Structure 1
C-alpha cells in the first residue's frame, strides 16, 4: 500500500473520534511504524495531504507540527518534511517511579528486550556499596537492551539483593511487574543524570555513531521501610529521550 492509499480517510477518519489534526497525526505515525513511510523518506507536501484527506492546510500543518515536536519527522527549509532517521523522543517525567515497559505502554509503543546478561553474580564494588551487601554476598543482576517499536533506546543494568529477586530468569519483560508480584516493588528512588559520549560496544548496541551524545542515569530505589531494593545504571540515546522535571517556587 502506498501513502496516498493509506491516507484515504474512509478507512480511518471518524467524525466523533477527536480533532482532525490528532487523527491525522496518529495515521501518519502508523505509516511510519508500519514502514509505509521509511526512515529518511519524504512525506507528501501539505497541499497534497490536504487534497487526499479533504482536510484544511491548517489541520495538516498542525499534525506535522506535533510530529516535528515528537522528533518523528524533520523539516528542511526548501526541501520539505522527512521521516526522522532517529527514534522519536520520549518525554520522561522525573517525578514518577515507573518501569520502561510502563512508560512505553502509556505512549502506545511496544517495548521489547534483548538480553545481554541475566543471573546471580558476585557483586561489583559499586553494587556492594549501593545495595549494602557484604563481599561474600551474591547479587541478582539483569542487563538488557531496551527497545521501543523495535528501535534501541537504552542499555539497562539492574542489580538487586538476591532475596529481593531470587530468580532473575523470572524477568521476561517488566522487572517491576515481577517485583510487584513478590511484594518488593520500590516506592521511591534517587536518580543521578549525567551526559556522556557513547563509545564502543555501547554505541554499537544503541545503533549510533561512536562519540554521539548519550545520557547516563544511576538510580537507587527503596522499599517502603527504607531498605535499598535496586541499583540501576542505564545508558540512553541522547536523541531519543527528554527528561522533564516540574519545579515549584520554594516558600521561605
Structure 2
C-alpha cells in the first residue's frame, strides 16, 4: 500500500455511504496478547472500542480497536460518534497515523459475528488484524 486510508475513506472513495454503530467503548487492562501487539506492559490501561460498520445500510464489518493513547490524549464515545472515523478523530487530537501492520486471514462466522452481520453461522469472513503506529 502506498498510503494509509481508513475504512470510511475506502468506502467513500468507492461512492458508498458509511455509518457506524458503537457497540462497546471503555478502558480495560491490556490482555497479554494485545499488550504484546501494542508493545505495552500487560494490564496497562488501554481503550477498547467495538464498532459495527455499515455500508448502504447493510452491516459489513465488525471493527474492534485497542488503543494505547499518549497520556495527553483522551477520546470520548460521543466524540467518536460525531466524527465517525477513528483515524480522523485521532488526527484531530494530534495523533498522526504513520504506518500499519495488517494481517488478513479467512475465518468462519461465529454465533456473535453471524448475528451482528446478519449472516449464517459458519459463513466465510475475512479477519483483518492491524497494529497502527503513531510515531
Structure 2, gaps ≥5 residues long: none
Cα distance in 2, alignment partners of residues 195 and 96 from structure 1 = 24
Alpha-carbon separation, structure 1, partners of 2:116 and 2:109:
10
Q: Map 1:121-160 onto structure 2 (within 5 A).
A: 121-160=28-67
Pair member with larger Rg: 1
Residues 161-213 of structure 1 deviation map (CA, whole Å, 9 limit, x = unaligned): 13275224121210011111122121211111111111101011111111110
1:162 aligned residue? 69
Figure out how many residues of one structure are paired with residues of the other and give that number. Answer: 131
Structure 1, unmatched stretches of 5+, are 1-93, 226-252
Q: Which residue of 2 aligns with 1:106?
A: 13
**Alpha-carbon separation, structure 2, partners of 1:208 and 1:198:** 8
Q: What residue is the counterpart of 2:103 in the other structure?
A: 192
User: How is 1:1-252 mapped onto 2 (pairs within 5 angstroms)?
Assistant: 94-163=1-70, 166-169=74-77, 170-172=79-81, 173-223=84-134, 225=135
Q: TM-score, normalised by structure 1?
A: 0.49
| Offset of residue 105 of structure 1 | 1.4
The structure in which a higher percent of residues are strand is: 2
8 Å Cα contact 2:32/2:43 also seen in 1: no
Q: Give the Cα–Cα distance (whole angstroms) in 2 for the partners of residues 204 and 161 of structure 1.
A: 29
Provide TM-score, normalisation by structure 2: 0.88
What is the CA RMSD across the aligned residues, in angstroms? 1.6
Structure with the larger RCO, 1 or 2 (CA within 8 Å, 6+ apart): 2
Runs of 4+ deviating beyond 6 Å: none
Aligned partners of 2:57 and 2:115: how far apart in 1? 15
Separation in structure 2 between the aligned mates of residue 167 and residue 182 of structure 1, nearest angstrom: 8
| Counterparts of 1:200 and 1:140, CA distance in 2 | 25
